[in-house]
Chain A
């Protein structure tokens, strides 16, 4: 589901009803995205609200923004990461890495295969980098295009293709490796 095209024009014209629609559409999406990086609910809520306030504050410039969805996802990510970094400065002895981690806990394996095989896929997922997980999330869950994913992560489209291809290959490689002679798909989808 995508938001209607003329909605941005209406927000630009200070149409509050249109803004409310945008708000209701993006709030849960940003929140859901943000929760992948931290379990700190107030922080995610703050970042979500700040991003959405920005849409209203910047409504005059909206027509100049070619891809508003991408623009605001990027903006949300920037605000969220900024808040996470700020927060980390005040935690003594924190050894978490510089970039916020896209948590492995948020993957769900939806295949109908046996639990043992699902565990295998889960293990394979844990070998992915945070960035690979995020690319999979934005592409397959949010349904964004490679170009949009690239813009959000501030990398080239080509690099995005590479990250994704490596992630998928890794999932295959891990599973085939750990089982020996079955192919990935026999393992994932027996019968």
Chain B
């Protein structure tokens, strides 16, 4: 127990560094609360320092990445099975390290079996390892609905399609003088050499994420694009001429490589267009959302829609509420919330339930079915997108006012009776 006389002379940074003080912030309990309440009663001039030190420690958070419950349970089950099968392999009883090598094979076999039982939905032609990685995720759909994952379909200029996921590694195709490289859920377009690139042909490619998929992309000019689920982007394999023009439906976050002599234009929702020189911004242009939103994080952009145009500054958002509606500009936007999806978070900020459900529908590839009236509550908080659907729904239920059930690929929403 620390002596309060030491703390009398503490400044904020001393509190932040004090192990016993940290212990209170990390593992608070009644006894520690009482101690610090007492200290502040006797030393009211330290209140600001203590308060700020608490905030400082609490503001340092970490992204949480949990494995799915199914993953843990199936790996545990396999270990327990081996423990209880004496004499297997080497003849020793329950030596777990022996099964390590066979584990993955078993898992893959089980995954294939379950998928076949589910009705052979395999339509994508991809490499075996990638397929298995993908199927492992699909298997979980049976009990619950697993979180979305890195997957998309790439359509080449000649109409060929390639299923993308993080299991496929390396150069997947070459078009003209541009290599297309897939790595860790990201596709990159690299010119083979700068000289040749100037002379090569321009091809248009398209990437479509299904519901429950997301993907990242590095365009030929170095521009980085994060594509959310149920979205499509069409772009040239390299940029030529006086502008860089691409098309988007759904939601994408862009970090545009600077090139003042070649403006970057994103066309969305028919007549909308964002014009930039080099900047960071997010476009939300889903057809099922009531309005289209362009949010600027850095730099400046010009938004065009139906004859109207507006320039945005950082932390401003252009909202377009209809095909012929004028553009309205909102200031002081919480940009981190807008792009939380790219950091694998749902971040709700006083959002009505239908807005929350639309996001879940796209990420978990599930339809929404409201039984009776739509509950009127608003939701605030963040949930990691790696959570399974049932985990997310449980959290929303805890917030109150609503009850969910999962039926096949459908979320049934009911207002909770008091």
Interface positions of A (Cβ within 8 A of B) = 16, 19-20, 23-24, 27-28, 31-32, 35-36, 39, 45-46, 48-50, 52-54, 56-57, 105-111, 115-116, 118, 121, 136-137, 139-141, 143, 145-146, 161, 164-165, 168-169, 172, 184-185, 188-189
Contacts and interface: CB of A to CB of B under 8 A. Distances in A.
Given A49-B100, A110-B59, A111-B59, A27 B75 contact: yes
Nearest to B104: A42
A139 B95 CA distance: 34
Contacts of A118: 336
B300 to A, nearest CB: 16
Interface stretch (B61-69, B226-234, B256-264, B358-366): B61-69
B65 A31 contact: yes
Q: Which secondary structure dominates chain A's binding surface?
A: helix
Interface stretch (B76-84, B117-125, B285-293): B76-84
Contacts, number: 118
A36 B375 CA distance: 38
B213 interface: no
A189 B52 contact: yes
A160 to B, nearest CB: 10
Nearest to B133: A42
B398 interface: no
B105 interface: no
B26 A143 contact: yes
B57 interface: yes
Contacts of B103: 49
Interface string B216-257: 000000000000000000000000000000000000000000
B392 to A, nearest CB: 16
Given A24-B72, A27-B67, A28-B72, A16 B83 contact: yes
Contacts of A56: 79, 83, 94, 96
8 contacts: A16-B80, A35-B65, A45-B67, A53-B97, A107-B63, A111-B58, A143-B26, A189-B55
Interface stretch (B12-20, B268-276, B305-313, B323-331): B12-20
A146 B75 CA distance: 32
A76 B121 CA distance: 38
B335 interface: yes
Contact of B100 (A24, A53, A108, A121): A53
B22 A188 contact: no
A53 B94 CA distance: 10
A172 B55 CA distance: 13
B6 interface: no
Nearest to B59: A111
B80 A20 contact: yes
A31 B67 contact: yes
A36 B58 CA distance: 19
A153 to B, nearest CB: 16
B334 A23 contact: no
A53 B96 contact: yes
Contacts of A140: 22, 26, 57, 60
Contacts of A146: 19
A94 to B, nearest CB: 13
A166 to B, nearest CB: 10
A115 B56 contact: no
B17 A165 contact: yes
A115 B334 contact: yes
Nearest to B60: A140
A111 B100 contact: no
Nearest to A144: B26
Contacts of A184: 12, 56
Contact of B76 (A23, A107, A185): A23
A137 B83 CA distance: 34
A121 B336 CA distance: 13
B196 interface: no
Contacts of A105: 63, 343
Contacts of A31: 65-67
B384 to A, nearest CB: 10
Interface in B35-49: 48
Given A35-B65, A143-B27, A145-B23, 10 more contacts: A28-B67, A48-B67, A107-B60, A108-B63, A109-B60, A111-B55, A136-B60, A139-B22, A141-B62, A168-B17
Nearest to A110: B61
Contacts of A189: 52, 55
A16 B83 CA distance: 9
Nearest to B345: A108
Interface string B83-98: 1100000000011110
Contact of A32 (B26, B65, B83, B94): B65
Given A28-B72, A140-B57, A189-B55, A23 B63 contact: no
A2 to B, nearest CB: 9
